[in-house]
């Protein structure tokens, strides 16, 4: 039923139902990111989401000097052959250190997309079946069924209906 108008329906999703709707939605939610990182740490692939977040942050960076510093940091942390948290992307060797001198906001976009897809088709689906996710979902459901939550929800719906 959601497919027809995703824009109106996905805004109302919260917590785990938001996370389960798409990886994009999960990554927009700080709590979701926190849980996803927890999960990836167990899988030894936390660097993927850290790289993705660093690239998002990089796109908002203003000023050439800051961009150079950030680009270098991303390169040294995730892309260089000596990187401490090396991400597994194809063609990372083609991103030479020379590009770091002339950074532009989307210089990491291709690699970021690759990592996004890697997470989407690999760890994200496992995350949705993981204890971290399922326990969080369970505690949400318990909160929703508590009497306080129900009165809060009634109050909220009154506010929106005015």
The pLDDT score that the predictor gives to residue 101 is 85
The pLDDT score that the predictor gives to residue 11 is 55
Question: Taking the chain (162 residues) in consecutive chunks of 10 residues, what is each chunk's mean pLDDT?
Answer: 44 87 96 97 95 96 93 93 85 70 90 95 96 95 80 64 50
3-class DSSP string for the chain: CCCCCHHHHHCCCCHHHHHHHCHHHHHHCHHHHHHHHHHHHHCCCHHHHHHHHHHHHHHCCCCHHHHHHHHHHHHHHHHCCCCCCCCCCCCHHHCCHHHHHCCCCCCCHHHHHHHHHHHHHHHHHHHCCCHHHHHHHHHHHHHHCCHHHHHHHHHHHHHHHC
The pLDDT score that the predictor gives to residue 88 is 82
The pLDDT score that the predictor gives to residue 155 is 64
The pLDDT score that the predictor gives to residue 94 is 59
The pLDDT score that the predictor gives to residue 63 is 92
The pLDDT score that the predictor gives to residue 157 is 62
The pLDDT score that the predictor gives to residue 45 is 93
The pLDDT score that the predictor gives to residue 18 is 95
């Amino acid at each position: 039923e959601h497919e027809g108008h995703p824009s109106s329906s996905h805004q109302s999703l919260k917590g785990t139902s938001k996370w389960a709707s798409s990886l994009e939605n999960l990554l927009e939610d700080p709590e979701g990111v926190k849980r996803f990182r927890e999960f990836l740490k167990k899988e030894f692939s936390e660097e993927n989401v850290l790289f993705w977040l660093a690239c998002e942050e990089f796109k908002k960076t203003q000023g050439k000097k800051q961009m150079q510093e950030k680009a270098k940091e991303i390169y040294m942390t995730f892309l260089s052959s000596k990187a401490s948290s090396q991400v597994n992307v194809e063609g990372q060797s083609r991103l030479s250190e020379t590009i770091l001198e002339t950074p532009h906001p989307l210089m990491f976009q291709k690699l970021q997309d690759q990592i996004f897809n890697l997470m989407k088709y690999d760890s994200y689906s496992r995350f949705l079946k993981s204890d971290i996710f399922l326990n969080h979902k369970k505690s949400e459901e318990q909160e929703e069924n508590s009497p306080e939550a129900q009165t809060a929800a009634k109050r909220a719906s009154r506010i929106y209906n005015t």
